[in-house]
Amino acid sequence: MTGKQRVLILGATGQTGKSILDALVAEPQFFEVEALVRPSSADKPKVKNLTSQGVSKVHVIDISGPIDELVRVMTGVDVFISGIDAMSQLAQLQLVRAAKQAGVKRFVPCAFITIAPPGESWPSATACKEEVYQEIWRQFLPYTIIDVGYWHQISFPTLPSGRVDYAAVLRPKIEIHEGGTAPNMLVDLRDIGRFVAHIIKDPRTLNRFVAAYGDVLSENEIFSVMEEVSGEKIVERKYISADEIMAARIEAAARAKADPDNWLAQTPLFQADYKYNKYVRGDNTPAYAKYLGYLDARELYPDFTPISFKDFAKELLEGGVEMPYRERFEQLQRARGK
């Protein structure tokens, strides 16, 4: 790769997008970073702060509006990266078409999940993501699809002392699924951007799927790491069988179907699908990713050492971890009068 790449990020204020933003602005010699923001968010403090975080230009635009506007904004962009939330995946369809018209050199759609086979095994999130991939292929648009496993930040169990509750999205979180033996790819949310920075500089990853992860651990191993690092025993554990996962998934699918625009109704389905994927099918492994044709980012970038789950756990115990979705979580608590 020669020269600086002009990168446009959609979703730079979100969890995944911010990780990507942080990593790219840390390498100003390689990247000039711009952000695409929807009009309803333009006045929010986190959008106002983008410039001070190193974003050179903020484009306020409705991604469902006229395509010509999107083509104008994307013209001259080398890499477009989407970190749009799980419920809004299909909004990327028009972005794909605009990117093609604008001559974007690499489109990175919002994948960033666990490894799963194509098709219907995981209807809630991947089906929409796959529709976007198919549009990319129809358009003959250069792309890279990056999957990352499951975040460390939502993989740790809570402790009897309550010491890690400050960063836990679910409390208590003491479930062990289908015996807890299935190995799973894990990643520190902060490393997603660091992987992306390597991947988009690399011609070997053009028009390829890439698996980028920091660790591979089973739930039993995750619990053992937490016990070792904390010195506490997680005596109370809730064992969930494959049958219970399947039953919960059917129930969550019915609720999600009845209330398609409500993220509170959709989130349990995403969670149920992840459990099916990770613990019933056991898909989320580097070996299965390779079988599906993914490049392995650990092999591509042997000099980059991602954050292991154990190092994450130590930081967690020291109080240094950010709770993901804190703002949304606090809004929900307030709405529930807590």
Ligand X SMILES: NC(=O)c1ccc[n+]([C@@H]2O[C@H](COP(=O)([O-])OP(=O)(O)OC[C@H]3O[C@@H](n4cnc5c(N)ncnc54)[C@H](OP(=O)(O)O)[C@@H]3O)[C@@H](O)[C@H]2O)c1
Q: Is 125 in the site for ligand X (CB under 6 A)?
A: yes
Residue 37 CB, nearest distance to ligand X (Å)?
A: 6
CB-CB contact of 212 with 297 (8 Å): yes
Size of the site for ligand X (CB under 6 A): 24
Residue 122 CB, nearest distance to ligand X (Å)?
A: 11
Smaller CB separation from ligand X, 139 or 271: 271
What is the DSSP track for 29-43?
TTEEEEEEE-GGGTT
Half-sphere exposure for 282 (CA within 13 Å, toward CB): 12
Pairing of strands 184-187, 215-217: antiparallel
Q: Which of 197, 211, 225, 186 is nearest to 317 (CA)?
A: 225
Smaller CB separation from ligand X, 21 or 226: 21
Q: What is the sign of the dihedral through the CA atoms of 266, 267, 268 and 272?
A: positive
Binding ligand X by CB under 6 A: which of 17, 109, 193, 286? 17
Contacts with ligand X in 131-170 (CB under 6 A)?
148, 150-151, 154
Cα–Cα distance between 90 and 99 in angstroms, integer?
15
Residue 276 CB, nearest distance to ligand X (Å)?
A: 15
290 is catalytic: no
Please classify residue 311 by burial: count the beta carbons closer than 10 Å to its beta carbon, then call 0-12 exposed, 13-18 middle and 19+ buried. middle
What is the DSSP track for 243-311?
HHHHHHHHHHHHHHHHSTT-HHHHHHHHHHHHHIIIIII---SHHHHHHTT-EEHHHH-TT--PPPHHH
Binding ligand X by CB under 6 A: which of 28, 41, 224, 305? 41
Q: Is 70 in the site for ligand X (CB under 6 A)?
A: no
Q: Which amino acid is at 130?
A: E
Q: What is the sign of the dihedral through the CA atoms of 254, 259, 265 and 271?
A: positive
Smaller CB separation from ligand X, 117 or 232: 117
Q: Which of 57, 100, 105, 129 is catalytic?
A: 129
Residue 208 CB, nearest distance to ligand X (Å)?
A: 19
Residue 2 CB, nearest distance to ligand X (Å)?
A: 31
Q: Is 10 in the site for ligand X (CB under 6 A)?
A: yes
Q: Is residue 215 classed as helix, strand or coil in its secondary structure?
A: strand
Binding characters for ligand X, 260-299, by CB under 6 A (x = yes):
----------------------------------------
Q: Is 113 in the site for ligand X (CB under 6 A)?
A: yes
Q: Is 312 in the site for ligand X (CB under 6 A)?
A: no
Residue 324 CB, nearest distance to ligand X (Å)?
A: 7
Q: Is residue 151 classed as helix, strand or coil in its secondary structure?
A: strand
Q: How many Å is the Cα radius of gyration of the chain? A: 20
- Contact segment (CB under 6 A) with ligand X among 6-14, 156-164, 211-219, 301-309 equals 6-14
Q: Is 92 in the site for ligand X (CB under 6 A)?
A: no
Could you list the active site residues? Answer: 129
Residue ranges binding ligand X (CB under 6 A):
10-11, 13-17, 38, 41, 63, 83-86, 88, 91, 110, 112-113, 125, 148, 150-151, 154
